[in-house]
Amino acid sequence: MIVRLHLDKDDELAQHLTNRLNSPLDWPEGGDLDTEHVARIAAAAACEVSYDHAANGHLVDLFAALPLPDTSEGREFWTSLSLAGGDAASNIDPGNAGGPFFDRLLDGNETGIAGRVLSFLEELNDDEHNAVADVIGAALDLLGGARYLGKLWLRDAETTAWHVVLASRRQYDTAEDRERFLQAWRNA
């Protein structure tokens, strides 16, 4: 069964299937699938991956809005960003990011890019933050107000990267961890 091939018995989807839907991972053994079970399994699978993939996809989309590194406009942009962001910019600079920066998402390193974005933003001082916002906003060139647009891009990148990092932490939660959490709140 396709779902079983991609499940770790301790991950959230497996626990949802076994505990909430009463569907053992080796199910059905000679049994028939009905539409309700197929729909519930599909919905559970979609919910399990959608948050992680959506956050990572959005992070990629944010970078896709910037000039491409292998163009003359991109080289100028990334040079300007490096000058504006100082040492912090090395966290996301295409030449320093280790080659296939976004290919790592496909290889399962979903927090690597998010971690670099968060490190980049954390290391910027206020002046560098404003200068980086100016560079990014000017490159977006949507509605004017370069600094404002750049700050929106930075804020969105930070929040999205945080979502990726937080979601990756949750993948190690077990049913016992969730029950301990719920019980702690019940007892508070």
User: For the segment 70-99, what is each residue's pLDDT rounded down to a tens digit?
Assistant: 899 999 999 999 999 999 999 998 887 766
Intra-chain end-to-end CA distance of the chain, in Å? 42
The total of other beta-carbon atoms located within 10 Å of residue 141's CB is: 9
**pTM of the predicted protein model:** 0.69
**Upper half-sphere CA count for residue 106 (Cβ side, 13 Å):** 4
- Using a 10 angstrom Cβ sphere, with 0-12 exposed, 13-18 middle and 19 or more buried, the burial of residue 187 is exposed
Number of neighbours of residue 176 by Cβ within 10 angstroms: 10
- pLDDT reported for residue 3: 40
What count of other Cβ atoms lies within 10 Å of the Cβ of residue 37?
17
Average pLDDT on 96-119 reads 76
In this prediction, residues 136-157 reach a mean pLDDT of 89
Q: How many of the other CB atoms lie within 10 Å of CB of 161?
A: 25
Q: How confident is the model at residue 170 (pLDDT cuts 50, 70, 90)?
A: low
Rounded (5°) CA angle 152-155-157: 105
CA-closest candidate to residue 155, choices 175, 172, 136, 142: 136
Confidence tier at 124 by pLDDT (50, 70, 90): very high
